[in-house]
Structures are given as structure tokens and as C-alpha cells.
Amino acid sequence: MKGKFISLEGGEGSGKSTAIDFIQRWLESHKVPFIMTREPGGTPFSEEIRQLVLSSREEKVNDTAELLLMFAARAQHVAEKIKPAIDQGTWVVSDRFIDSSYVYQGDARGGSTQILDQLTEWAVGDYHPDATLLLDVPVDVGQQRVLQRKYQDRLDKESSLFHQKVRDGFLERARLNPHRIRIIDASLPLEDVIAQIEKQLEALVQSWSGGI
Ligand SMILES: Nc1ncnc2c1ncn2[C@@H]1O[C@H](COP(=O)(O)OP(=O)(O)OP(=O)(O)O)[C@@H](O)[C@H]1O
Ligand SMILES: [Mg+2]
């Protein structure tokens, strides 16, 4: 049996990495074989592309160059890590995946949906997430949370307008894909966010297999 694929999405500081820690413990306690990964990145080669694309720099990065690098990293990630895991029955949990491209490189930067569809077909094929948890927070809340961190990457430093387009873009994708994308209200205290995630995980495994 193939492994299930869950992606975590949301803007900067929405709590994706915090949620992943909880999901990891939850899968361990349910004895599910899984790997955790992230985008951009996930393999040594793709992590090098991550460095390239996220590091702050003087030179303006062209939107098309950014988009293509994201997909170059993803093609490698799917072929070398995600596909082999799923094919051998291992679950995959990824901190960001395709929805981030549609929202950051599409809605926020103006990239064409048609091109994103074609690149997704090419780089991802049949290895789409079975479920996506969207951690939704108002932009100012997310920004406050990341400000507490020392390091800000090139995308963290974008304007509030950019981050508002990201939030709206994710919510629109959730509206268009209601079965796959589950919205989590991530503005609540952490314990409430975790409770929502746990409820969704339980519902998902129930729908997939009648329990684990
Ligand atoms: N529900 C919450 N309430 C308050 N603070 C939170 C909550 N969830 C996460 N945080 C804190 O907010 C900060 C950002 O969280 P986290 O790193 O998980 O976000 P992220 O979505 O992974 O961000 P990025 O996109 O930048 O990787 C962390 O310091 C975390 O402890
Ligand atoms: Mg994170």
C-alpha cells in the first residue's frame, strides 16, 4: 500500500514548523512509518537550491528565475525522496509544497497559473498531497511571530501587501480544493491549534483506512 502524503501550508510565522513537531510525535505514537521533509529543499541538491533562492542579496531576483528554481528543487525532491517513500508505503509530511508555489510565485508575484499547472504536472506528476493543512493567521500576527527570530530570509522581508496576497491566495486555494485543504485557525493559542490539527489527523486516517 502506498504511503499518504500530507503537506503543511501557510504564511511566514503561521506555525508550520511548530505543527510539524506535533505531527511527528502523533505519527510516532500511532506507529506510522513516515519521513518529514520541507520545500524548497528536502534533498541535499534541493537544499542547495533553497539556499540560493532564499538568501538575501543585493541583486534583484527575477520572478521567473525564482519560480523555475522552486520547481527545479521540487522535481529533484519528488523524484529522489517523496516518490520512493510513498511507493514503499512510507508517509510523507512536507513543510510547504505546491500550494506555496501557486500562492508565492503565482498570486503574490503574478506568475501564470497555466505555467504553474504545466510545471506541476511535469515535476510532481501523480505525487500530489492527499491532504493539506493550511495554517491561517492574519498577516500582522505572523509577522510579529517571525520578528522574534533573528534570521529573516528574502521572502520574509517582503512587504505586508505581498504577505496579504499570500494569505488571500492560500484561502482561495482552500476554497477551490475544499476536500484536500483543511483550514486551521492558527491565530489561536498553540494548544488550540494543536487540538485542531489532531482532530484533522484523526478524521483523515479514519477516511483513508477506517483507522490506522
Ligand atoms: N499558535 C501560536 N501562538 C503563539 N505563537 C506561536 C504559535 N504557533 C507558533 N508560534 C511561534 O511563532 C513563531 C513562528 O512559528 P513557526 O516557526 O512554527 O512558523 P512557520 O510557519 O514555520 O514560519 P516560517 O514560514 O517562517 O518557517 C515561533 O516562535 C513559534 O514558537
Ligand atoms: Mg518554518
For each successive 10 residues of the chain (212 residues), what is the average pLDDT? 96 95 97 97 98 94 96 98 98 98 96 97 97 97 85 84 97 97 97 98 88 55
Instruction: Tell me what pLDDT residue 113 has.
Output: 96
Options 3.40.50.300, 3.40.190.10, 1.20.1050.10, 3.40.50.620; CATH for 5-209 is: 3.40.50.300
Q: What is the rounded distance in angstroms from the CA atom of residue 76 to the CA atom of residue 19? A: 25
What are the boundaries of each domain within the chain?
5-209
- Sorted by sequence, the CB contacts under 8 Å of residue 172 that are 6+ apart come out as 107
Ligand nearest to the CA of 156: 1
- Ligand 1: residues with CB < 6 A are 10, 12-18, 145-146, 148, 186, 189-190, 193
Peptide bond into 84 cis (omega under 30): no
Count of residues for the chain? 212
Q: Using the mean position of ligand 2's atoms as its centre, give its distance from the Cα of residue 210 in Å.
A: 31
- What interhelical angle do 160-176 and 139-147 show, nearest 10? 120
How far, in Å, are 18, 142, 145, 212 from residue 188 at the CA level? 13, 12, 13, 29
Ligand nearest to the CA of 153: 1
Q: Using the mean position of ligand 1's atoms as its centre, give its distance from the Cα of residue 15 in Å.
A: 4
Ligand nearest to the CA of 146: 1
Q: Using the mean position of ligand 2's atoms as its centre, give its distance from the Cα of residue 15 in Å.
A: 7
User: Binding residue per annotation — 41?
Assistant: no
Give the mutation target among 17, 95, 97, 99 for probing the ligand 1 site: most ligand atoms within 8 A of CB: 17
Instruction: Tell me what pLDDT residue 156 has.
Output: 81
HSE (side-chain half, CA atoms, 13 Å) at 117:
3
User: Binding residue per annotation — 13?
Assistant: yes
The angle at the Cα of 102, spanning 98 to 103, to the nearest 5 degrees, equals: 115
